[in-house]
Amino acid sequence: MTESHHAVFGHPIAHSLSPRIHARFGRQTGVALRFEAIDATPDTFASALDAFAAAGGSGASVTLPLKEAALALCADASDRARRAGAVNTLVRDGGHWRGDNTDGVGLVRDLTGRHGLDLRQRRTLLLGAGGAAHGVAPALIDAGIGDLFIVNRTSARADALVDKLGLPKHVHSRYLEDLAALGEFDLVINATSAARAPAAGEAGSGLPTLPTSLVGARTACVDLSYGEVAIPFLAWARAAGAHHAIDGVGMLVEQAAEAFKLWHGIRPYTDEAYAALRERDALLVTGD
């Protein structure tokens, strides 16, 4: 059986659970694959991806901070990737890369299927306006959420995402200092990398101060990250009395399953991989 070669690119990347998830998917489906983690910065990503392709790489996942850069390296991209302006899944196609974005569908599958949330008409706050936020915002809108407020440290980036989504009556850009006046939300999503330890040369600013007035008795708070990076936001959510405090492990597994289907033509079951990750590392347990 021929072994396919895959990788996840990001910076930093040593913490990534993707190799473990895809190895489990491969065993479940009988697909022979090799999956590695490759550290690449925005400056080195293009050359690292070229080297991976030259070594026989046939598909790749892309994580922070490379999702927007990945789109520029694609000869073709799916509608959802172009709509998001970011790529998290690369498929080798005739000597070129074809891009897709499975983040949004992965998040919605996790929230509605695994956690049983009805997203329709939920007043939603999205913290962050980078590649992760671009990836999930269109899918949240398609899932029927109510008004969406986007807040980012750099307001111009939030404005750009609002403009890209093209729904001025339902999608709004706000400043961090506006948070206390925004009232209660049904859904609060942290799409920032603020709590991630900064790499060499990066400035670390930490999770912004979030008022507890954002959270009500039925609010679901979701961090798109997982493990130690997600702890500050989830701790704030629990202290504020959120009904759900959910990390990004479920989304990670669901978006990985979508990527696996793009590469191999079969979508694996995800409950087994999700349960295995929860069982292995107590830090990953949510307060849902």
* Phi-psi group of 85: left, alpha or beta (phi > 0 → left; psi -120 to 50 → alpha; rest → beta): left
Q: Letter for the amino acid at 248?
A: G
Q: Tell whether 216 is in a known binding site.
A: no
Segment among 41-45, 109-113, 203-207, 264-268 with least mean pLDDT: 203-207
pTM value is 0.92
83-132 residue pLDDT tens: 999 999 999 999 999 999 999 999 999 999 999 999 999 999 999 999 89
Domains of the chain: 4-102+251-284 (3.40.50.10860), 104-249 (3.40.50.720)
Query: Catalytic: which of 67, 164, 169, 261?
Result: 67
The verdict on whether 169 is a catalytic residue reads no
Note the pLDDT of residue 204: 44
Cα pseudo-dihedral 9, 60, 278, 30, rounded to 10: -150
Residue 217 to residue 120: CA distance in whole angstroms: 17
Q: What is the pLDDT of residue 168?
A: 83
Q: Would you tell me how many other CB atoms lie within 10 Å of the CB of residue 156?
A: 10
224 is in an annotated binding site: yes
56 is in an annotated binding site: no
